[in-house]
Structure 1
Amino acid sequence: MSRIRAGELDVHVQRLTPDAPLDGDAPVVVCVHGLLTDSLASYYFTLGPDFAARGLDVLMYDLRGHGRTTRPASGYHLERFVDDLVAVLDACEVTRPVHVVGNSFGASVAFGLAAARPDRVASVVVIEGEPPTAEWTGHMADGLADAKARLAIDEVIGWIADHHGAHTARLSKAANRILQTTTIAEDIPRSATIAADLSAVRCPVFAIFGGDSGLAAQVPHFETHLAGCRTVVLPDQGHSVLVERTAEVTELIFGWVRDTARTQARVR
């Protein structure tokens, strides 16, 4: 475990550097996890080690309020998460553009960074996520309000344990602690947004969705408005793409990062 000072936070990070860097100059992949029940562990036990073994420089960290990172009582607007990511890159002395892999809420952070700091982003990889548009704030407001109310009920946690197991129940209890002790449910829906036409995002984007997830409906919009966009929809798959389709996701993202890095290297 490693903790670094990044801005106002003590941030838990894990960095996996390759023994044999891809093409002699390992592309840096920064992994941003989802909200409430997630942490960097979802990458550490899935694609992180495989990427490092293939020559990528992998940086994972716990978001503010999550895992082993500081949990302030307030300050959970999306732009704060973006600022945290910049601070983590600075603290880790990562100066060249990175490939940001965002799962669920992490994808919104990745889009936010690409819009606010295009100089820091080589590409964005979206796993079952949304760009932070005005429509997104409505989705987040509804989902967070529902979670804050439901996860505070003991019977709901009991139902989760009975139907999804003790581990998921523990994660749900941890999510409830974040919701009840911070302003995250109120702050995220009040975040700064980007235009619905996604014109603020100018880097290459690769998006992976589950075919049974409602988020896959974004594919035509992405392909219309994002230059250099690639999309993949995995059939018979819901929201838990990273965990349930790890091998496929690893192959897809590694190929994307490798090819994008090589193309960008030729252009420079």
Structure 2
Amino acid sequence: MKIRTGDITTHVQRLPAAKLEGQQGEPPVVVFVHGLLTDSLASYYFTLGPAFAAAGIDVIMYDLRGHGRSERPSTGYQVECFVDDMVALLDALGERRRVHVVGNSFGGTVAAGAAAWYPERIATLTLIEAEPPVQRWTRHMAEGLALAKEQLVHEEVIDWIKENRGAQTARLSRIACKILNSTTLGDEVWSGRIIDDDLSAITCPVLAVFGEESGLVAQVPLFEKVWERCRTVVLPDQGHSVLVERTKETRDLLLEWIRDHHVPGHVPAQRTAPARSASAGQQHLSGHELAEALR
């Protein structure tokens, strides 16, 4: 279904929790947030979503602004816009429970922003191959988006991706190119509100899952140092595509995590949205490199 969330219309799918014998009170609710440009809620629909509903958890999956079946405005793509969309969606759905928010890749950046700016709405934060919206994130995001915008307009690059990474990755790369060239996303995602590098703004329990071969795994020591209630998991022999390539392990980790942190019946107080403020040779780009560049 489609729901009005602030200045856009958002496509959302809900999977109600299965009724389990012995379960008391309201079930936990999980919000799944997908990655940037080449992703949509479908990545959760075909991986974690149905399994979580079957396990007695209410599931909310939605397409980010500019993605999937959600509205694609020409402007308005700072990270705080994505965060405010998620909170507006919860309000539109009448969801007053604290949510367990799970973000994959850029979805984790959005999820971390929600945990920092709307702490009363978030029960736990799960980052899958993701980085919070801190200053260092803005630098490599700006570089990755600029490279993608430059490369994906070339038909020979798309052909190379199709030959080496498959037709599906090539199709998604065309979609990414269209988004980058019809909106200001590439210039805005990294230009908006950020949180301090010390990550002190995030106070809820955090689960962080990384692939051993991903550059993002370097965040593990920092996460373990600054967050008292943090669990980090590094999957061996794994790159950035944890959600797709290690679905069962990821599912089992998250189900255990959410069950351990579920507090039935907690309803947070309302809070207004924070004000949005700004702060600061030919190379073939493969599907994997695109994912890494935009992580």
The corresponding residue for 1:19 is: 18
Q: Higher relative CO (CA 8 A, sep ≥ 6), structure 1 or 2?
A: 2
Letter aligned with residue 20 of structure 1: K
Task: Tell me whether 1:5 sits opposite 2:16 in the alignment.
Answer: no
Post-superposition offset of 1:192: 0.8
Query: Are residue 189 (structure 1) and residue 186 (structure 2) matched?
Result: no
SS state at 1:190 partner: coil
Deviation at 1:87, TM superposition (A): 0.7
Q: Specify which structure has the higher proportion of helix.
A: 1
Task: Return the letter of the residue paired with 2:121.
Answer: R
Structure 1 residue 264, shift from structure 2 partner: 9.7
Determine the C-alpha separation between the residues in 2 that align with 1:188 and 1:23.
41
**2:179 paired with 1:214:** no
Give SS of 1:60's match: strand
Cα deviation, residue 263, structure 1: 9.3
- Which region of structure 1 is more displaced relative to structure 2, 12-21 or 101-110? 12-21
* Identical positions, percent: 58
Which residue identity is paired with 1:135? R
Letter in 1 for 2:152: L
Unaligned runs of 5+ in 1: none
Q: Deviations over 1:176-199 (max 9, x none)?
A: 000000001100121211001000
Residues 208-239 of structure 1, C-alpha deviation per residue, up to 9 Å, x if partnerless? 00000010110000000112000000000000
- In structure 2, the residue matched to 1:81 is 82
**Pairing 1:169-188 to 2, within 5 Å after superposition:** 169-188=170-189
Structure 2 counterpart of 1:141: 142
**Are 2:18 and 2:55, in contact at CA under 8 Å, matched by a contact in 1?**
no
Measure the CA separation in 2 of the matches of 1:261 and 1:74: 37
Letter of the 1:7 partner, please give it. G
1:94-105, aligned counterparts within 5 Å? 94-105=95-106
C-alpha contact 2:27 2:264 (8 A) present in aligned 1? no
Check if 1:155 corresponds to 2:168: no
- 1:134-187: per-residue Cα shift (whole Å, max 9, x none)? 000001001100100011111000000001111111000000000000001100
- Report the CA distance shift for 1:198/1:175 in structure 2 as closer, same or farther (over 3 A): same
- Is there any run of 5+ residues in structure 2 with no aligned partner, and where? 267-295
Task: Give the CA deviation at 1:19.
Answer: 2.5
Aligned-residue RMSD, C-alpha: 1.3
What does residue 166 of structure 1 align with? 167
Secondary structure of the residue aligned to 2:112 is helix
Rate the CA distance shift 1:23–1:127 in 2: closer, same or farther, 3 A. Answer: farther
Change over 3 Å in CA distance of 1:103–1:145 after alignment to 2: same
Deviation at 1:7, TM superposition (A): 1.0
Instruction: Show the counterpart of 2:229.
Output: 228
Measure how far apart 1:117 and its partner are.
0.6
Give the equivalent residue in structure 1 for 2:290.
none
Distance 1:230 1:264 in 2: 25
Q: Counterpart amino acid of 2:253?
A: L
User: Which residue is 2:94 aligned to?
Assistant: 93
Aligned to 1:35: 36
1 CA distance for matches of 2:44 and 2:93? 18
Distance 1:264-1:222 versus aligned 2 partners, 3 A rule: farther
1:29-61 C-alpha deviation (Å, 9 max, x unpaired):
000000000000000000000000000000000
Letter in 2 for 1:256: W
Q: Within 5 A, what are the aligned runs for 1:109-124?
A: 109-124=110-125
Shift of 1:96: 1.6
SS of the counterpart of 1:136? helix
- TM-score, normalised via structure 2 length: 0.88
Query: 1: distance between equivalents of 2:192 and 2:75?
Result: 13
The answer to whether the Cα contact below 8 Å between 2:25 and 2:264 also exists between their aligned partners in 1 is no
Rounded to whole Å, the distance in 1 between the matches of 2:114 and 2:187 is 21
| Farther off after superposition, 15-24 or 193-202 | 15-24
